[in-house]
């Protein structure tokens, strides 16, 4: 025996926001309704439900709780030497492909190129980036010194906890080995 209060209504544009919030809906159902209202379908199910409830009640949908990223627009499509690099441009695969086509297969986003792309101010072009690539090819490669494994390397390491654990593990292992060497041997059968 079911009455109107316990039977889930159809998900329709005439539904009230409170009624939408009262029932369980699949996200796919909510996305279909959102497309009818031209409401953004991104975000979590909870965010989508909140947006739809507002629209069903005649209000503007709330802004997404997710803050806009610092990256902004990213380059895509037809790129040329005159294409302006937007602020926050990532070193993307599409950009890598363009550079390889224009400077050769040896192209890579090394430190010089990453810094150049990341410091783009909206006035720099891909042509400028190619010139930068060519001008930095004779600069010395930054060599990272190998860790010698000594205690000083770990004591001066800026990453405190991980290096402390490694140092403690090495110290503990060394102490255990010293103890084994110093312990008198017991005669067999004693």
36-48 as b/e, with b when 16 or more CB fall inside 10 Å? Answer: eeebeeeeeeebb
Of residues 151 and 25, the one with the higher pLDDT is 25
Q: Is the pLDDT at 18 greater than 70, yes or no?
A: yes
Are 111 and 144 in contact by the 8 Å Cβ rule? The answer is: no
Question: Which residue from 71, 70, 77, 86 is spatially nearest to 126, judged by alpha carbons?
Answer: 86
Crossing angle of helices 27-37 and 45-56, rounded to 10°: 40
- Asked if residue 159 belongs to a domain, the reply is yes
Look at residue 145 in the predicted model and tell me its pLDDT.
72
- Asked if residue 145 belongs to a domain, the reply is no
- Asked if residue 80 belongs to a domain, the reply is yes
Mean pLDDT, the chain, integer: 77
- Asked if residue 172 belongs to a domain, the reply is yes
The model's pTM: 0.40
Q: Both 120 and 97 in a single domain?
A: yes
Q: Which domain holds residue 159?
A: 151-180
Q: Both 125 and 86 in a single domain?
A: yes
What total number of domains does the chain contain? 3
Structure tokens at 185: 């041997």
Q: Both 39 and 87 in a single domain?
A: no
Comparing 27-41, 67-81, 89-103, 129-143, the range with the smallest average pLDDT is 67-81
- Asked if residue 9 belongs to a domain, the reply is no
Q: Both 87 and 136 in a single domain?
A: yes
Look at residue 73 in the predicted model and tell me its pLDDT.
72
Look at residue 42 in the predicted model and tell me its pLDDT.
85
Look at residue 59 in the predicted model and tell me its pLDDT.
92
Tell me the pLDDT tens digit for each residue of 87-126: 888 888 899 999 999 999 999 888 889 989 988 888 889 9
Tell me the pLDDT tens digit for each residue of 48-68: 999 999 999 999 888 765 544
Q: Both 134 and 83 in a single domain?
A: yes
Q: Both 95 and 129 in a single domain?
A: yes
- Asked if residue 47 belongs to a domain, the reply is yes
Look at residue 171 in the predicted model and tell me its pLDDT.
46
């Amino acid at each position: 025996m079911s009455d109107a209060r316990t039977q889930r209504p159809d998900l329709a544009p005439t539904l009230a926001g409170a009624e939408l919030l009262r029932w369980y809906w699949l996200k796919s159902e909510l996305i279909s309704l959102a497309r009818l209202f031209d409401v953004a379908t991104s975000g979590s199910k909870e965010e989508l439900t909140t947006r739809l409830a507002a629209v069903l009640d005649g209000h503007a949908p709330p802004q997404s709780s997710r803050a806009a990223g610092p990256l902004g627009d990213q380059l895509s499509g037809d790129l040329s030497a005159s294409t302006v690099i937007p602020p926050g441009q990532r070193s993307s695969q599409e950009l890598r492909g363009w550079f390889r086509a224009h400077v050769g297969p040896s192209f890579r986003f090394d430190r010089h190129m990453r810094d150049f792309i990341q410091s783009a101010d909206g006035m720099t072009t891909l042509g400028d980036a190619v010139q930068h690539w060519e001008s930095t090819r004779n600069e010395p490669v930054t060599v990272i010194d190998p860790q010698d494994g000594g205690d000083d390397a770990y004591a001066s390491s800026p990453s405190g906890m991980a290096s402390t654990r490694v140092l403690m593990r090495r110290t503990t292992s060394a102490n255990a080995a010293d103890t084994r060497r110093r312990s008198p041997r017991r005669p067999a059968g004693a």
